[in-house]
Amino acid sequence: MRVLVATAVPAERDAVARAFPGPVERLDRPGVGLVRTDGVCDLVAAGVGPARAAASTAAALTAAALDGSPYRLVVCAGIGGGFQPEAPVGSLVVSRAITAADLGAETGDGFVPVTELGFGRVTHLPPRSLVREAVRATGARPGTVLTVSTVTGTAARAAGLRDRHPDALAEGMEGFGVAEAAVAQHVPVLEIRSVSNAVGPRDRAAWRVGEALATLTEAFEKLAPVLRAW
Ligand SMILES: O=C(O)c1cccc(C(=O)CC[C@H]2O[C@@H](n3cnc4c(=O)[nH]cnc43)[C@H](O)[C@@H]2O)c1
């Protein structure tokens, strides 16, 4: 059984693919295209944002299940914003928790998550032993990875997120969507973010995308034996 790695964009997918030297095969499945590596992973550029990422991940999971070869693990991977000073640019974060940070309602008393309104869920927890193994193999910092639909662009929003989520180390835009799709099919999920920028005032010119993609490749080189053994 294989592992499905879901990134947002093809540049991130290809950074992960570079960790698996050897031929790759392109597979077209209904609603989604996959890259099958020589190793243990199938890779999907699932799209930007939680909704598109959930749709692509669900399509890949369903196709594999109908094929009789379901995935045994889903990993959401990519570049991300890091909360300062705990997750500096260039560092790597592994999810102890994957949390939707802006799924809820704004009220006069502030933000209320959907769970407090009586709906759904806002957090998925990866298997603790897998988090431990991933941290040991890669040297990543373990913490909460937030999923947002809007990239944080002010110090005030960064501070608000940290107030609500003191364990947050990073934010991305896909993790919770990928996790919802995985958990719906009873497949465990993990998120890995290579920090390309600080969460805070928007400064796109300061994003270190190339370096973060190189860190992502290195991370998957180190993670490969963990994924194989899982
Ligand atoms: O410009 C490029 O070359 C490039 C290459 C690879 C990826 C990108 C992206 O912009 C990917 C979008 C992706 O990045 C995540 N991300 C990165 N920083 C943050 C952040 O501070 N807050 C939230 N998300 C962030 C996110 O998951 C996007 O899908 C560009």
Q: What domains does the chain contain, in order, with CATH numbers? A: 3-229 (3.40.50.1580)
Quick: pLDDT tens for 69-103: 999 999 999 999 999 999 999 999 999 999 999 99
Amino acid at position 106, single letter: E
Quick: pLDDT tens for 184-217: 999 999 999 999 999 999 999 999 999 999 999 9
Encoding tokens for residue 46?
A: 């699932």
How many angstroms separate the alpha carbon of residue 28 from the centre of ligand 1? 25
For the Cβ of 82 lying below 6 angstroms from any atom of ligand 1, the answer is no
* Confidence at residue 101, expressed as pLDDT on a 0 to 100 scale: 98
* Confidence at residue 189, expressed as pLDDT on a 0 to 100 scale: 98
196, 79 in Cβ contact below 8 A?
yes
How far is residue 215's CA from residue 229's CA, in Å, rounded to a whole number? 22
Q: What is the mean pLDDT of each run of 10 residues along the chain (230 residues)?
A: 97 98 95 93 98 98 97 98 98 98 96 96 98 98 98 98 98 98 98 98 97 98 96
> Ligand 1: which residue has its CA nearest to atom 6?
11
CA angle 136, 141, 144 (to 5 degrees): 120
* Confidence at residue 11, expressed as pLDDT on a 0 to 100 scale: 98
How many angstroms separate the alpha carbon of residue 8 from the centre of ligand 1? 8
How many angstroms separate the alpha carbon of residue 207 from the centre of ligand 1? 9
How far is residue 76's CA from residue 182's CA, in Å, rounded to a whole number? 10
Atom of ligand 1 at shortest range from CA of 81: 21
How many angstroms separate the alpha carbon of residue 203 from the centre of ligand 1? 13
